[in-house]
Chains A and B, each alone.
Chain A
Amino acid sequence: MPAEEKEVLAQLLPVIQTALVVPSNVGRYPIFDGSYDWHSCVHAHWYWLSKLLTHLIFCRATIRIARALGQPLANTYVAGAPPLLVFTTPNYSLFAHVGTVGDESLFHHKFTQTNMTQEIAMLKQNPSFERPYGLAWFLTLCTEVAGYVYQATTPPPQH
């Protein structure tokens, strides 16, 4: 190896080793700790949750159709929603049947009052952190989930 390359390598090695031993983001933030940077983790969670909620709305619409038709839910075939075929009772946990899009336990494990409080405290303590871009994504995620319940609990228009 040429001397110049050895010198460069000697300078780079500590950097590489440091990079390897530096702990990743895992554990650094209470909730959004699984990606290279905070905002990426936030919008990954946004994507996951919006997908989950879309599926829930879809499931609820299927239930409504099944009832309107007077058919057992198990007989209501809807393309793209195979998990629905196993439903037999009206009051089930929807989350339990959407294994293809999310894990209920993961949701409840991550989004606790304590974790959310800590995440927000971290944001407040670091005024320059992820503003405005990452913070806007966090707001997007909150709007998505908080807005979902409104959509799902609003009675359909009466004609």
Chain B
Amino acid sequence: MYTRPPPPPPNTDRGVSTRYCDGTTSDISEGTEALFAAAGWEAAELLHEYLHALWPDTQCGAVKDVNPLHGLLTTPEYGNISWALIQLHRFLVAYAKKYKRGDDTDSEEEPSRYKSVAADVQRWIDEIVVGCEDEALHRYITWQQDDARVEFFSVYGNLMHLVGCSQPPATTMRIIAFSMIEGKKKRENVAILPVEESRGYAGGGELSYAGVHKYGLNWSRAWALKSLHSAILRSQQSIRGREGQEEVWDEKQKGMLLECWKAHLNAGLDTFKRIQLVEDKEWYGSLSPIHALVPLPSFLILLLA
């Protein structure tokens, strides 16, 4: 899953501005990069230590009736581990990419902390989603459970996103088959997965701070659907359903999944815009993400050029 990270190459410019490959320089120096990389490792190890202490001492799949992982995923937002796993995985991938040397030989130079954290993250992902299939994850966590939560992430969506970005296509397809998209009828249901309507906390109206939770929920579903859609496009394999039947995603079905992604994305945007109208200068969320997107289309055009 991860590429072994060799030690960073010697750099004679350390401490001064980074010189880019096209000759320009930036004020984000390698010193700054090193500062954030070191801080990232501190955070990763603290998270690793925290999760390691929480993790139940059992093998996934051995427990049929009671899933010990259940509690780690269904706790309230600030306590559940789905977001932490996504970020740990993302950090490790970025680290591995940065120091990728191009060969796959093992080496004693590999930092032990990377080995340790990466091995556990891989194991945890395996235990939660890959190895558990219907016995654990999908038995307790579903898209539908979003309806019962008043939080801003779809926990199941986060885990599906983790699958989409961490697993090889074949595994992803198998998990999709075992999760919510088994059979034509279910696929169609997913494609029309309703966007979440705002459910404010007690005393909070639709356009209150609770709106954050609406667009967060829709957007976290959106990135999960996009990850799954990307995985389906990458995979040339058909999906084999739980009962062994072979299922193929045709273009129409893929399109429906994409439409579902767009619906959730737009629902989040709509909520966000309405919040801006009401809360404007009072809420720091008015750092508008719309504005952040402005340069992106131009940037993509430049890349294509």
Contact = CB atoms under 8 A, between A and B. Distances in A.
B46 A124 contact: yes
Contacts of A156: 21
B292 A145 contact: no
Contacts of B94: 143, 146-147, 150
Interface in A129-145: 130-143, 145
A149 B28 contact: yes
Contacts of A55: 295
A120 interface: yes
A132 B302 contact: no
Interface string B150-191: 000000000000000000000000000000000000000000
B2 interface: no
A51 B26 CA distance: 16
A111 interface: yes
Contacts of A60: 20, 22, 24
B27 interface: yes
Contact of B20 (A79, A80, A152): A152
B256 interface: no
Given A135-B43, A135-B50, A139-B88, A57 B299 contact: yes
Nearest to B303: A61
Interface string A100-143: 00001000100101001001100110010011111111111111
A133 B83 contact: yes
A75 interface: no
Contacts of B84: 132-133, 135-136
A38 to B, nearest CB: 11
A59 B298 CA distance: 11
A141 to B, nearest CB: 8
A25 interface: no
Nearest to B298: A80
B234 interface: no
